[in-house]
Amino acid sequence: MSLKCGIVGLPNVGKSTLFNCLSNAKAQSANFPFCTIEPNVGMITVPDERLNKLVEMCNPRSVVPATVEIVDIAGLVKGASKGEGLGNKFLANIRETDAILHVLRCFDDDNITHVDGSVDPVRDMEIINYELQLKDLETVDARLAKTLKAAQTGGDKTARMQADVLQAYKEALEAGKPARSVKFETKDEQRFARDLFLLTNKPVLYVCNVDDASAVTGNKYVEQVKEALKDDDAGIMIVAAATESDIAELETAEERAEFLEEIGLTESGVSRLIRAAYNLLDLQTYFTAGPDEVRAWTFLRGTKAPQAAGIIHTDFEKGFIRAEVIKYDDFVSLGSENAVKDAGKMSVEGKDYVVKDGDIMHFRFNV
């Protein structure tokens, strides 16, 4: 399964600079609004030392890491929900993503203009959230009128349930809360809620883009963001996009490690951000490993063995017989699949087995 994250933010907050660090694709980065009109898309690999270790041990002919698709969406402005600043197109691009990376400007620089004239990340965050909420409210209101009519005139139980969901969303949005703040108990409610594809129902990671000196400790702007989000379940992380840009220019891993050590970091913000994006949707990784290929497979936490097999091929799920499972730590400590088998550490699991992060799996199936 693939994950698509959209990078959003006001113009000139560092979105495209960050995207350029994340991806080999190079978005235009310029000191004026709307320099990124079409969404730039990049496919990036998820850093995982476990994959590197398996490659070292198996020496395979091919390696396939887990990936995340990143979309750099042009800067939103106040009034986007009404079409301002090409808003309708930008909002449609957000709707197509699975999660949102919301970049906030948390640095001072007189050479980079701010669309609203001053640096205030909380205000910037509220502008975009307000526009997304307005668009969601528009969607909810349009559906609610039709659904209420069906529920009242026909006594349709499904329509009644849908109307209740829509009403709950309407009340939250009108109170200035995102759709994700509303929780539903039944599977039918959850399914209908998910199928509405509301913008503020998407998981959000707020990325505080700071100056080089604040890359490790953060600054007053980051503290303002943390305070504003203390009651929100969204994630927050600190990245210095300009620093990450310098790191990306270095040619060797040794040079990058030395650079990071000099500024007091153990790993790049980009690596942390990619993993955070991967985890944002509760995704995990299992592996297939052998002399032909070592590959990372992405699955949703809680997935059972047959469905995990189906990620490789639908026939694997249809004809699932069993899964042979080796724990990553056992594979590394014992040195090979045969050694794991000899030690009795390989388990044979059936249809109810819940796949764990880091499992090395081999599926038996018959179609």
53-69 per-position pLDDT tens digit = 999 999 999 999 988 88
Q: Is 4 helix (H, G, I), strand (E, B) or coil?
A: strand
Taking residues 274-292, report their average pLDDT.
89
CA–CA–CA angle 243, 248, 254 (5° rounding):
100
Sequence letter at residue 318: K
- Single pTM value for the model: 0.81
Model confidence at 35, pLDDT cuts 50, 70, 90, reads: very low
Residue 27 has pLDDT above 60, yes or no: no
Model confidence at 75, pLDDT cuts 50, 70, 90, reads: low
Cα–Cα distance, 173 to 136 (Å, whole number): 8
Segment 160-176, tens digit of pLDDT: 899 999 999 999 999 99
Sequence letter at residue 346: M
Long-range contacts of 106-110 (CB under 8 A, 24+ apart): 106/208, 106/209, 106/210, 106/214, 106/218, 106/219, 106/221, 106/222, 106/225, 106/238, 107/209, 107/210, 107/211, 107/214, 107/219, 107/221, 108/211, 109/211
pLDDT the model gives residue 88: 59
pLDDT the model gives residue 343: 96
Model confidence at 79, pLDDT cuts 50, 70, 90, reads: low
What percent of the chain clears pLDDT 70, i.e. is strictly above it?
90
Model confidence at 257, pLDDT cuts 50, 70, 90, reads: confident
Model confidence at 26, pLDDT cuts 50, 70, 90, reads: very low
Segment 302-360, tens digit of pLDDT: 999 999 999 999 999 999 999 999 999 999 999 999 999 999 999 999 999 999 999 99
Q: Which helix (H) or strand (E) holds 278?
A: helix 269-280
Q: Which helix (H) or strand (E) holds 162?
A: helix 157-174
pLDDT the model gives residue 298: 93
Taking residues 236-257, report their average pLDDT.
85
Residue 140 or residue 250, greater confidence: 140
Q: Which of 70-84, 128-142, 276-290, 294-308 is most confident?
A: 294-308
Segment 125-183, tens digit of pLDDT: 999 898 889 989 999 999 998 888 887 776 678 888 999 999 999 999 999 999 999 99
Model confidence at 45, pLDDT cuts 50, 70, 90, reads: confident
Residue 28 or residue 262, greater confidence: 262
Torsion of Cα atoms, 104 then 109 then 111 then 117, to 10°:
60
Residues in the chain, how many?
Answer: 367
C-alpha separations of 61 from 56, 65, 93, 305, 342 in Å: 12, 14, 38, 26, 26
Chain centroid offset of residue 176 CA: 23
pLDDT the model gives residue 246: 84
